[in-house]
Amino acid sequence: MKSKNKPGVYITGIGQLKVEKNSALSIREMGAEAVRLAMEDGGIEHVDAIYLGNMLSGVISNQQQLGPLVAASAGLKGTESVTLEAACGSGGAAVRAGVMAIMSGFCETVVVCGLEKMSHIDKDFITRSIATASDWETEGSKGETFVTLNARLMKMYIEKYKISADSFGMFGVNAHKNANHNPKALFHKEITLDEYLNSRFIADPVRIYDASPVCDGAAALVLSKYPRQSTSRQLPNVKITGSAGSTEFVGINDRSNPLLAEGISRSGNKAYKMAGIKKEDVDFFELHDAYSIISTLSLEGMGFAKPGEGWKLAAEGQILADGRVPISTFGGLKARGHAIGASGVYQAVEAYLQLTDRAGANQIKRDARIGLIQSIGGTASTTITHVLERES
């Protein structure tokens, strides 16, 4: 079925702030600015609802009720606005809520915004706060953090498949190379494989270049029942044709096979089915590269590599811009920056830019047709997958 005839939801406007350390804006100002940018890009003044993705504001900023705060700050007082939390997958959850609101018929046009302000807090406190997305009873309260939990997964993988800890280096190299051309990215420094191999371990076998940074950011989308209205820029229409979520045990020890990443596969397969596509149809994959091991498991879970071979796609250069499965095309969470609640929305913005040939130096190729984005909470305990298609 051609994408023009598929059911789905149109992306008609985008907005994104530069990812930063210590943004001068408050969290409500960050969200409001991203919303205004997206609505201006879409040429609209009113929406039916606003869906926000955020994980930590109530914990680290003593501020809940982001919905009405952001709505009022964006000049949309009175508009329905709620916040969704799915740990690091909060942005993806907000996108899915927006898709469901339109496909259900309750709304015709909505704004989705992901936002997080994290870098104003002591590093140890932010680490403990993020750890609330683990199984607190069995993990977080025992001193585990997401660095140590991902180190456990990475060590399991290395031992099971008998590979070297050095095998994951190209994930970081690729991310930093792409971020260097992205003006909205936090990092503008390319790294070599040697620099990766010589970098310090933050929790053996996880190196500093295997992990995403603490930062601030906000991004937004306008989603609509209708295609983008004619403007001075004639852009291809982009539609979200697949949207699916899945969960897994939060605690790693509760899973029968933690390396199988069943939640990733379930979410992905449902999104593939809804969109009527196969993995071979995908032109690029904006995956949740908060840690190199999660990138590896995502490539395997989505069918791009066999179990135990996801790292090979990186090592062989297949994840590069001109490779078989380009990932992190604007730097990903690793180098664009992982402003937690915003990351899933940044992914959608970046995929939209790829599909409308507006990615500039980060453009993977002309006329990319299908993009896959995936937002993950915890150690793949919540997975939300979307398929975006350029309408033909």
- Enzyme catalytic residues: 88, 338
Identify the H or E element spanning 375: strand 370-377
Backbone angles phi, psi at 151, to 5 degrees: -65, -40
> Do 241 and 8 form a contact (C-beta atoms < 8 A)?
yes
**Which of left, alpha, beta for 255 (phi over 0: left; psi -120 to 50: alpha)?**
beta
Which three-class secondary structure state does DSSP give residue 289?
A: coil
In the numeric block, which tokens belong to residue 294?
């999660």
The residue type found at 310 is G
In the numeric block, which tokens belong to residue 297?
């498991």
CA distance linking residue 270 with residue 135, whole number of Å: 26
HSE-up of 180 (CA within 13 Å, CB side)? 10
User: What torsion, rounded to 10 degrees, do the Cα atoms 322, 327, 330, 332 define?
Assistant: -160
In the numeric block, which tokens belong to residue 24?
């001068």
Which three-class secondary structure state does DSSP give residue 92?
A: helix
**In this structure, how many other beta carbons lie within 10 angstroms of the beta carbon of residue 93?**
27
CA distance linking residue 68 with residue 88, whole number of Å: 22
CA distance linking residue 328 with residue 179, whole number of Å: 8
Identify the H or E element spanning 241: strand 238-247
> Do 239 and 274 form a contact (C-beta atoms < 8 A)?
no
CA distance linking residue 245 with residue 92, whole number of Å: 9
Nearest residue to 350 via CA among 63, 82, 28, 11: 11
Tokens 């942005």 — which residue?
91
